């Protein structure tokens, strides 16, 4: 968001290094499309870290929280798509 104190390029690293409570709270602010983008970017970032031999256990846990929040959206999206109105 333009008024966010954290730039878009800083958001994922900030989330992946934040306490779990903050990550859980932050994921409530994103819609499914934004969460999908964060998960995708997070997986890419972690893959790059692993290629360089870096362990990212904490970041992997945070990405898991973001992914879990995204999974909560999926049944709702299916339900909305099935709605004929």
The tens digit of pLDDT for each residue in 32-46 reads 999 999 999 999 999
- Rounded to the nearest integer, the mean pLDDT of the chain is 84
CB contact at 8 A, 66 and 15: yes
pLDDT at 83: 53
pLDDT at 53: 94
Which percentage of the chain shows pLDDT scores above 70? 79
- Report the C-alpha gap between 32 and 42 in whole angstroms: 15
- The whole-model pTM stands at 0.75
- Report the C-alpha gap between 10 and 64 in whole angstroms: 19
Question: Does pLDDT of 85 surpass 90?
Answer: no
- Report the C-alpha gap between 52 and 24 in whole angstroms: 28
């Amino acid at each position: 968001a333009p008024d966010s104190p954290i730039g878009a390029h800083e958001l994922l690293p900030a989330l992946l290094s934040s306490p779990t409570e903050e990550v859980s709270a932050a994921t409530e602010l994103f819609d499914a499309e934004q969460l999908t983008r964060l998960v995708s970017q997070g997986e890419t970032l972690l893959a790059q870290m692993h290629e360089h031999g870096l362990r990212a256990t904490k970041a992997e846990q945070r990405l898991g929280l973001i992914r879990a929040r995204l999974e909560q959206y999926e049944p709702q999206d299916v339900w909305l798509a099935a709605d004929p109105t």
